[in-house]
A and B are shown apart, each in its own frame.
Chain A
Amino acid sequence: MALDVPVIGLEVHVQLRTRTKLFCGCGAGFGAPPNHLTCPVCLGLPGALPVLNAEAVRLAVRAALALHMAVTPHSRFARKNYFYPDLPKGYQITQHDRPLATGGWLEVPLPGGGAARVALAQLHLEEDSGKSLHAAAGGAGGSRLDFNRAGAPLAEIVTEPCLGSPEEAADFLRALHARLTFAGVTTGRMEEGALRCDANVSLRDPATGDGTERVEVKNLNSFRFVERALAHEVSRQREAVASGAVVARETRLFDPGSGATAVLREKETFEDYRYFPDPDLPPLVVGEALLAQERHRRDEAPEALRTRFRTEMGLPDYDAGVLTQDRETAAYFEAVARRCADPKAASNWVMTEVLRQVKAHGGDWTRLRVHPEELGALLAQVAEGRLSTALAKAVFARMAESGEEAGTAVRALGGPVVRDGETLSALVDEALRAQPRAAEDVRAGHGRALGVLVGEVLRRSGGRAEPRAARRLLRVRLGLDAEE
């Protein structure tokens, strides 16, 4: 055995899902025309000062808790000084010697079952840079700058150098993406750069503990790129070692076109960022109140939630999978199930009626006008036989459409529920005439045929008959006791 075992650590930049930027009120959205989301603060104009966005802190704390990290009660911001055209102030506001959170781990599912823990080093808050749009080589017009992204909030999450293969690194990134997207920390939209990754790669000899110089690979912005770039880098380093060459300490850039990494800059010209505490910002104090709120709302990992839905609620694995696809679906389902006390019914409804409505609104849960408690109550009525499933579906659709309460929606759909009197009596008579065979079966002691008759009553009432009352009256007509 020689220098052969890959040692990989990742630095992941996660765009936090805030309305505004980290230090100003500009929108943190994606896709606006160049330089439309800017102000004196994020353009770094003379005299402008940063004001920390509390929502970004909340989301970073949420991420830290989701990753089992220790949140630093007093962290602080530092300036990282370097010149680059898309860095408006000539320094980046980041955290250096006192990051927001340290330690922690993330459980990554293994392909063969089970899970591995990936150890984390730290999480810190920082602002994003703008974007340089370089003209084609030799073209006129030079480079252009877009500062829409400048000042957008990022959480940088750094792993320990503990990942043993490109596959493991990619699996970790997938698990991190799922965990943080599920917690609502980030949109998770890779195509918008919501998760961007750099990797440090070296080879180690487990026998002697010797290792090669660390190479940083930049620009790994998809799961696939991470795996391909690291595979290329590991084999490049192995070849170098095998041929007796030295692996130089340097920064390399992954080119998705060629699938190879190429030197960006050599680390021998050591970069000195001259960090010092940013005098424009007071220490960042994470209070007990915020920690308590975030601990309280802390989501289970999607995997754990899926297991719980299966074991404690008795749902099929398929249902559990669909319901844990994102945080909103899971939370909605849980609230419905809690109210109606029938997890499977709640699951059926959420997977069909509810998701259909949400999809119709472009996936925006805030536009779903039916509170899960209301749906739970509706399902409880169905379970008690006081509302037909058909009517309940129509009522739900109407509530979702109009924002009406359940009672109002029922009335609007053809008046009150039929549960006694002439109307019900006539409906029962009609049903017995229409299904003489079923009536015979019931009289002969085959109680199950009663369901056919109840269904007939409901159908003839347009769903308005109360199932429980119809059943009771049918039993009386067929000479059975009213109550079962």
Chain B
Amino acid sequence: MSLTIWSSAAEIRDAVAGGEVSCAEVARLSLDRVSARNPPLNALLRVTEARALARAAELDALCARGGALPPLAGVPLVVKDNLCTRGERTTCASRILEDYEPPYDATAVSRLEGAGALLLGKANLDEFGMGSTGENSAFGPTLNPWDPARVPGGSSSGAAAAVASGMVPCALGSDTGGSVRQPAAFCGLYGLRPTYGRVSRYGLVAFASSLDQVGPLARTARDAFLAFAAISGPDPADSTSLPDPPEPLEPPAPRLEGLRVGLLADQLGADVDPEVRALVAGAAERLRAGGAEVREAALPHAGYGVATYYVLAPAECSSNLARFDGVRYGLREPREELLEQYEASRGAGFGDEVKRRVLAGTFVLSAGYRGAFYERARRARAAIAADFARAFAEVDLLLGPTTPGPAFPLGREGGDPLSLYLCDVFTIPPALAGLPALSVPCGFTAAGLPVGAQLVGRRLEERTLFRAAGFLEEALGLAGRHPS
């Protein structure tokens, strides 16, 4: 068997289809890697071995009968633990859902398994998707495989660490303000936030409904594309899903002819780490050398992004998390009086960051403050979306850093929330505009930490992102470099 823990999803699928390896063997290889690497990294909250092996057996039987194999046959993967899995606990890394077992699968999960993937486990995260370090998990922080003293990024912390450490070639995360792209950048992965509505949110436990999107993380552009294609397309169970048909599985050719790229010069200023600045500028040069037309572009209102986001997302969060009241499911702290029981259950069940956002969101929606905060933020969101529309009249892609710096040490800022919110400064604007954005590895710092560049495209033009990503992947030659 020529497969290794670093084999891509595409390679695994071909090996399975060619009869070189069984799905059960692939699953075993991954499970062994999980046994070795998960205890130190804490990437997975639970391993769903029985489920993965059952699916592997089905696929092997199908293969033995000579049946046509689905496009991700035998590919092991993990999903963030805010995606519902039938009969498997789905905790959102929160005490309040510690023992919660959903009675149904999220659409993205059932589509992946339908495409032949083996669900190997549920990945750690910042509680309910709130955080950008992976430290806000009720079940302990996840460590960065490149440097275990550093954070893997978040909130899809476990998904990123599992893929970067070779447990699986691919994972599903969710991205509200950068929760797929930022950990992808910190862990040297491709991380896609699809166009809002391109992937069903049904079964994704909501944080901020108007911003949440499910997206893949992978070590190759092609794998990220394959996983995206497999989960894309309309879903009658999600009223906000777009009607456009699923993405064709064939990835775009990595050709740049005629491609106009806008380099976001504002995002390469003094606030950005010099090494990150240099690597992103280097990626721009590669694109130019490869035949793309690169020019400067600007988003005048993007600077309001963080403030806008931290009004709108908490507002929606305060409402979305109201259902966790200890009455029907989840943690309950029994009390004689109803109000006391709510307070005790939610007080014991939610972590600090969740409480902070529920409080902030409740405040910005309150009578007397709504206009100054919530309504104003909605207008700012529209202004940011208009910036992108103007930029995309001139260029086909926007390029900038995914994050201001590389992965930082655990416990930085003493957990100061405001300073941590600034991690999302570049990933938030495309999320507010509902646009597709992809974090692409663009090099390593002198200390050996991965750095990501963010590509942003027009609505529904994920293929354009992958054209450029595929080109950069070849041109930069970063594949094959793995954490020790």
Task: Give A contacts to B, CB under 8 Å.
Answer: 40, 43-52, 79, 81, 83, 85, 88-91, 145, 270, 272, 274-276, 279-282
Q: Determine if A81 and B236 form an interchain contact, defined as CB atoms under 8 angstroms apart.
A: no
CA distance A270 to B210 in the complex (A): 29
Nearest CB to that of A143 among chain B residues?
Answer: B338
A46 and B210 contact, Cβ closer than 8 Å, known pairs A85-B327, A274-B319:
no
Contact residues on B (Cβ < 8 Å of other chain), bracket: 35 or more
Residues of A within 8 A of B206 (CB): 46-47, 280
A47 and B366 contact, Cβ closer than 8 Å, known pairs A85-B338, A276-B319:
no
Instruction: Looking at the assembled complex, report how far the CB atom of A172 sits from the nearest CB atom of chain B, in whole angstroms.
Output: 31
Q: Determine if A47 and B202 form an interchain contact, defined as CB atoms under 8 angstroms apart.
A: yes
Q: Is the C-beta of B421 less than 8 angstroms from some C-beta in chain A?
A: no
CA distance A327 to B90 in the complex (A): 50
CA distance A280 to B211 in the complex (A): 10
Instruction: Looking at the assembled complex, report how far the CB atom of A156 sits from the nearest CB atom of chain B, in whole angstroms.
Output: 20
Residues of B within 8 A of A47 (CB): 82-84, 90, 102, 106, 201-206
Instruction: Looking at the assembled complex, report how far the CB atom of A265 sits from the nearest CB atom of chain B, in whole angstroms.
Output: 13
Residues of B within 8 A of A270 (CB): 367
Residues of B within 8 A of A48 (CB): 202-203
Q: Determine if A280 and B103 form an interchain contact, defined as CB atoms under 8 angstroms apart.
A: no
Q: Determine if A280 and B323 form an interchain contact, defined as CB atoms under 8 angstroms apart.
A: no
Task: Give B contacts to A, CB under 8 Å.
Answer: 82-84, 90, 92, 97, 100, 102-104, 106, 201-206, 208-210, 236-240, 315-316, 318-319, 321-325, 327-329, 338, 342, 362, 365-367, 370, 374
A83 and B240 contact, Cβ closer than 8 Å, known pairs A46-B92, A280-B209:
no
Q: Determine if A88 and B239 form an interchain contact, defined as CB atoms under 8 angstroms apart.
A: no
Q: Determine if B205 and A79 form an interchain contact, defined as CB atoms under 8 angstroms apart.
A: no
CA distance A281 to B209 in the complex (A): 10
Q: Determine if A46 and B319 form an interchain contact, defined as CB atoms under 8 angstroms apart.
A: no
Which of the listed residues A52, A83, A91 has the most CB atoms from chain B within 10 Å of its own CB? Answer: A83
Q: Determine if B323 and A88 form an interchain contact, defined as CB atoms under 8 angstroms apart.
A: yes
Q: Determine if B322 and A81 form an interchain contact, defined as CB atoms under 8 angstroms apart.
A: yes
Q: Determine if A46 and B322 form an interchain contact, defined as CB atoms under 8 angstroms apart.
A: no
Instruction: Looking at the assembled complex, report how far the CB atom of A53 sits from the nearest CB atom of chain B, in whole angstroms.
Output: 11
Which of the listed residues A40, A91, A274 has the most CB atoms from chain B within 10 Å of its own CB? Answer: A274
Instruction: Looking at the assembled complex, report how far the CB atom of B310 sits from the nearest CB atom of chain A, in whole angstroms.
Output: 16
Q: Which of A45, A52, A91 contacts B103 (CB 8 A)?
A: A45
Instruction: Looking at the assembled complex, report how far the CB atom of B349 sits from the nearest CB atom of chain A, in whole angstroms.
Output: 13
Nearest CB to that of B209 among chain A residues?
Answer: A279
Q: Which of A45, A85, A276 contacts B329 (CB 8 A)?
A: A45
Instruction: Looking at the assembled complex, report how far the CB atom of A42 sits from the nearest CB atom of chain B, in whole angstroms.
Output: 12
Q: Determine if A51 and B236 form an interchain contact, defined as CB atoms under 8 angstroms apart.
A: yes
Nearest CB to that of A276 among chain B residues?
Answer: B365
Q: Determine if B239 and A46 form an interchain contact, defined as CB atoms under 8 angstroms apart.
A: no
Q: Determine if A90 and B323 form an interchain contact, defined as CB atoms under 8 angstroms apart.
A: yes
Q: Determine if A43 and B202 form an interchain contact, defined as CB atoms under 8 angstroms apart.
A: no
CA distance A282 to B102 in the complex (A): 26
Instruction: Looking at the assembled complex, report how far the CB atom of B116 sits from the nearest CB atom of chain A, in whole angstroms.
Output: 23
Q: Which of B82, B97, B201, B365 contacts A274 (CB 8 A)?
A: B365
Residues of A within 8 A of B338 (CB): 85
Residues of B within 8 A of A46 (CB): 84, 90, 92, 97, 100, 102, 205-206, 323-324
Which of the listed residues B102, B104, B323, B367 has the most CB atoms from chain A within 10 Å of its own CB? Answer: B323
Residues of A within 8 A of B202 (CB): 47-49
22 contacts between A and B (CB under 8 A): A40-B104, A45-B103, A45-B329, A46-B97, A46-B205, A46-B206, A47-B106, A47-B203, A47-B206, A49-B238, A51-B239, A81-B322, A90-B319, A90-B325, A270-B367, A274-B366, A276-B370, A279-B208, A279-B240, A281-B240, A282-B239, A282-B240
CA distance A81 to B338 in the complex (A): 17
CA distance A8 to B327 in the complex (A): 37
CA distance A40 to B205 in the complex (A): 12
